[in-house]
C-alpha cells in the first residue's frame, strides 16, 4: 500500500512563495502519475496540477498557470509543487495524489487517483 506525506505548507502574505513536497512509501514515485489538489473551506476539492511518468507531460489549472509548477526529484523520490505569487484565494488544504497509470489517464479528476495524502494547510493573508 502506497502512503503519501505532504509537507511545506504554512502561512504567507500575498505575493509570497511556498514549495510543497510529497513523499511516497511502498513505491518509486517515477513509476506513478502524481497530482496536486486543493480544498478550500466550504468548497469541493479542485484540481491544481499533475504530472505523469514523463517529466514533459504536465497539466495545470487555469487559475494557477504561470504561478505554480509541478516537478519531480527522482533522486529523492519526491514530487513538488512550487507556488509563486500566492493570492488569498489560494488558501486551502493541499493534497497530493498518485496512481499507477494503466489505460486512459484522467489526471485532472480526483476520482481517478488511488492514493492520497492527509493534506497540508496553505494560508495566504491579504
pLDDT tens, position by position, 30-53: 788 999 999 999 999 999 999 987
28 or 18, higher pLDDT: 18
pLDDT tens by residue, 85-124: 999 999 999 999 999 888 888 999 999 999 999 999 999 9
Q: Which residue has the cell 513536497?
A: 21
Distance of CA 111 to the CA centre of its chain: 15
Confidence of residue 12 (pLDDT cuts 50, 70, 90): very high
Confidence of residue 17 (pLDDT cuts 50, 70, 90): very high
pLDDT exceeds cutoff 80 at 55: no
Burial of 37 (0-12, 13-18, 19+ CB in 10 A): buried
Beta partners for residue 49, in sequence order:
36, 60
Long-range contacts of the stretch 107-115 (C-beta < 8 A, 24+) = 107/33, 107/35, 107/50, 107/52, 107/59, 108/35, 108/47, 108/50, 108/59, 108/61, 109/47, 110/35, 110/37, 110/45, 110/47, 113/33, 113/35, 114/2, 115/2, 115/3, 115/4, 115/24, 115/32
pLDDT of residue 89: 97
- Rounded mean pLDDT of the chain? 92
Q: How far apart are CA 26 and CA 108, in angstroms?
A: 24
What does DSSP assign to residue 41?
A: T
pLDDT of residue 19: 98
Amino acid at each position: 500500500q502506497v502512503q503519501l506525506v505532504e509537507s511545506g505548507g504554512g502561512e504567507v502574505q500575498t505575493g509570497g512563495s511556498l514549495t510543497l513536497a510529497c513523499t511516497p512509501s511502498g513505491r518509486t514515485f517515477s513509476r506513478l502519475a502524481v497530482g496536486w489538489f486543493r480544498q478550500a473551506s466550504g468548497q469541493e476539492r479542485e484540481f491544481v496540477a499533475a504530472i505523469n511518468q514523463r517529466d514533459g507531460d504536465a497539466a495545470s489549472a487555469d487559475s494557477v498557470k504561470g504561478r505554480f509548477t509541478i516537478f519531480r526529484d527522482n533522486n529523492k523520490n519526491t514530487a513538488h509543487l512550487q507556488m509563486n505569487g500566492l493570492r488569498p484565494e489560494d488558501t486551502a488544504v493541499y493534497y497530493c495524489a498518485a496512481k499507477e497509470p494503466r489505460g486512459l489517464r484522467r489526471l485532472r479528476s480526483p476520482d481517478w487517483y488511488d492514493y492520497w495524502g492527509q493534506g497540508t494547510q496553505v494560508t495566504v493573508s491579504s
